[in-house]
Structure 1
């Protein structure tokens, strides 16, 4: 077990000098190779940024027009929407995509289904189910349409046709669709086993973008991916296709860079806040998980308009992590909860019986909640912080 010199809080109260948790060092500090180079922005950076924002709006309008132009072409529309979503651009076209899929769902009929190839049928199934529409995977009846989406791809013996194996785009689309199955959909269970076995046996080809896509999908299907991570990966794949849409690709790269710049700025600001708490000195055993926490938050919501939610959630995660480390290294759950309740009731007033180590954590937690309350007051929703304080008190025993 790693050891370290006692902090002033431990010297002040020997009872607190308990076993310490053997936490790994901060990942981002452990390997200096991971540190990014400092960007040397030119003096007219903000002018350049404004120009990029203007260019972004122009490209969005181009893509919006192309979306409308493909409205009557089912297969093209499906692939265009899929590309928009996988490139991380769906948040720019939520209304257009919602309307297009609604029309597609309401006008769907068996004739269209019979004429579909495997790729189109599977892609339509996945996109509509992602949107929340009920798309039966096997033989069933729906008030709007009767569907045998995948049953027609089986032979007389009830197995998926071997002729499908040579249809790589179709097999990949079906594989991705199976990850949206619900309980009792045996046909999708069978499809997952069928597609996985054949896709895994495929010989890798580094020069084929579709095969690169297959290899990535087997490791991380769309349904289990983080939108921003998937977008970065898919941009590099999409640009290798000769049929890629130039405006869409340009928009994806520009949007990714602008959004990344925003996220880096936010992370810089929250890191300053974290350093201001000085837990590295006061609680040297605690883990520094700000970058890790921010990445987790981006998995919840990455869109620019949710900047306040990201900041609040990251602060909560950071303080919860500190309390968890305190439990692992120093205190019992019930004892800490008593002091926490007292601290929440008294606010900033320090109780003379509170041990110094507890005071550091509790004052930091209360300061965090007060900052959140100030931000929520500006949003005219201050009452919600009261429930946050209750949640913190109830959560603490379960961290022990």
Structure 2
């Protein structure tokens, strides 16, 4: 969540009259939401008994449809794909797992019955999404005598789209999927202007952000209209998905109203005016990590954690002088209200709010008799602050580290270890364990990959705007004569490889000593929202355009139900 404002290094000073001269000049646009979400009171957001009853009836109908559709039929794959893309897969997790386990166990015989490109690629993607490793050799049959993908496939638009989406799940060493990705992108770009408007929109959206790299609620809202236009759509599933989307939206609006009141009470807008006011965007970030109804408490708690990260990021990156940051870092390490008087007034205000938030986390964990585990979340906050402090010291000293040295600090400063720990603390169930927190703290490969994606994408969109240490600048300084374009290309390769690491770690077998499915899904979702948030610009800092539109789509505009 780094900023895109000028942040040139200021000299160390202890003279009070010089402090205001030292501070870096930054102007962020104010919140684009004002008090909008305060209006979402219980009258507007309560789910009525008849609405919940209708949802349960439709859910049972969809469940019957799943049960009645043979696991070895193409229709079952289509149904599972539609359910997941419509955002209602969480209702049928057990049923979907059972069906895909059958498809996996009968993989060879199934392939003999359905051997077209669309089906093979769809089956491959659904199984890898579920964590099953299946060989990519199944795509060899679509190559010609020269070892290239057959040009005749250009007429198979749905097959090309399916191949493109399947290739997103490639791991290291799968050259055929590298070729498949390049081939499908080239062909889809060449035909996008020659197909119908609806198909052209589908292609453009896929090429912009594939299914694997976007977030569930955005996929669901956009796919609803595409699914409705599909003549083969199932009305029961469509109506269920529409109703479920709207009822979840009501729940999310109510949560957002609650955290907005908390935020307004803190008066950060007035007491820390240098910082970004992005509470709604913070909630959206938490929502993309887990949107399901059982995580309501966790979402609100995670929103507060993210908001406090955003503020401390601006304190270290933008406003604090080195002497203030030294005092601040000492206070964070000590984590005690008694040290608050040592801090400047603006830091005092933040520090009290920070400890209060983590006190709330401790209270929630206490409800399941695990309040002692808050220690792990606090330690990750301290680790994050240390990385921010190190980056600030580099800036003040004018030191430019090597890319390797920078990444040792830059990866944890991406915030994702803390986000994973806070997300775990918020689920309020038996999955919360010492072992799970220790797995996160060990910074496993899948989490490292997510950190790399977050840090590098942020640095890429910030280069040229942020006057601070970044991967781009470190690479260019380390490789004298390297151009910006060369630096971008090399860093993008690191991002691509990180996604391959995520794909590899997602595949079974997985360790069973931690709630792996939950934690890994959290980490993948963090990577997905990062990919979306920093795709072209820093949408978090500059939230007036793209991010405002996304939030409006998900949190304001309901789905029209006839």
TM-score range, shorter chain: 0.7 to 0.9
CA 1:351–1:134: 2 relative to 1, 3 Å: closer
TM-score, structure 2 as length reference: 0.62
CA 1:372–1:237: 2 relative to 1, 3 Å: same
**Structure 2: distance between partners of 1:59 and 1:81:** 16
CA 1:27–1:236: 2 relative to 1, 3 Å: farther
* Aligned pairs (5 A) from 1:1-400: 14=17, 16-17=19-20, 18-29=22-33, 46=46, 49-110=48-109, 112-113=111-112, 115-138=114-137, 149-204=138-193, 208-327=197-316, 328-332=318-322, 333-342=325-334, 344=335, 347-349=336-338, 351-399=340-388, 400=392
Provide Cα deviations, 1:322-343, integer angstroms capped at 9, x if missing partner. 112112212324332113234x
**Structure 2: distance between partners of 1:304 and 1:15:** 51
CA contact 2:329–2:386 (8 Å) conserved in 1? yes
CA contact 1:16–1:330 (8 Å) conserved in 2? no
CA 1:115–1:340: 2 relative to 1, 3 Å: closer
For residue 280 of structure 1, report the CA deviation from its aligned partner: 1.5
**Residue aligning to 2:408:** none
- SS of 2:284's equivalent in the other structure is helix
- SS of 1:349's equivalent in the other structure is helix
CA contact 1:334–1:397 (8 Å) conserved in 2? no
**Structure 2: distance between partners of 1:306 and 1:40:** 20
**Runs of 5+ consecutive residues of structure 1 not aligned to the other structure:** 3-12, 139-148
Aligned length: 372
**Structure 2: distance between partners of 1:15 and 1:339:** 23
CA contact 1:122–1:170 (8 Å) conserved in 2? yes
**Structure 2: distance between partners of 1:82 and 1:334:** 52
Provide Cα deviations, 1:298-336, integer angstroms capped at 9, x if missing partner. 221111111122122211111121112112212324332
TM-score, structure 1 as length reference: 0.86
CA 1:53–1:204: 2 relative to 1, 3 Å: farther
**Structure 1: distance between partners of 2:42 and 2:320:** 45
**Structure 1: distance between partners of 2:41 and 2:364:** 32
- SS of 2:149's equivalent in the other structure is coil
**Structure 1: distance between partners of 2:228 and 2:112:** 30
**Structure 2: distance between partners of 1:300 and 1:283:** 27
Provide Cα deviations, 1:227-262, integer angstroms capped at 9, x if missing partner. 100100000111111111000110111011111111
CA contact 1:86–1:234 (8 Å) conserved in 2? yes
**Residue aligning to 1:6:** none
**Structure 2: distance between partners of 1:303 and 1:209:** 30
**Structure 1: distance between partners of 2:130 and 2:30:** 39
CA contact 1:235–1:249 (8 Å) conserved in 2? yes
For residue 398 of structure 1, report the CA deviation from its aligned partner: 1.5
- SS of 1:133's equivalent in the other structure is coil
CA 1:318–1:364: 2 relative to 1, 3 Å: same
CA contact 1:209–1:241 (8 Å) conserved in 2? no
- Radius of gyration: which is bigger? 1
Provide Cα deviations, 1:101-149, integer angstroms capped at 9, x if missing partner. 00111122256336421111000000001111111001xxxxxxxxxx1
CA contact 2:328–2:343 (8 Å) conserved in 1? no
**Structure 2: distance between partners of 1:398 and 1:111:** 51
- SS of 1:157's equivalent in the other structure is coil
**Structure 2: distance between partners of 1:362 and 1:36:** 26
- SS of 2:144's equivalent in the other structure is coil
**Residue aligning to 1:146:** none
- SS of 2:218's equivalent in the other structure is helix
Provide Cα deviations, 1:285-308, integer angstroms capped at 9, x if missing partner. 111111111111122111111112
Higher mean alpha-carbon deviation, 280-289 vs 200-209, is at 200-209
**Structure 2: distance between partners of 1:37 and 1:207:** 42
Provide Cα deviations, 1:66-96, integer angstroms capped at 9, x if missing partner. 1111124421000110000110011010000
Between 1 and 2, higher relative CO (CA 8 Å, sep ≥ 6) is seen in: 2
**Structure 2: distance between partners of 1:325 and 1:39:** 29
**Structure 2: distance between partners of 1:364 and 1:111:** 57
**Runs of 5+ consecutive residues of structure 2 not aligned to the other structure:** 6-15, 393-562
- SS of 2:32's equivalent in the other structure is helix
CA contact 2:71–2:102 (8 Å) conserved in 1? no
Q: Which segments of structure 1 move beyond 6 Å, counting only runs of 4 or more? A: 39-43
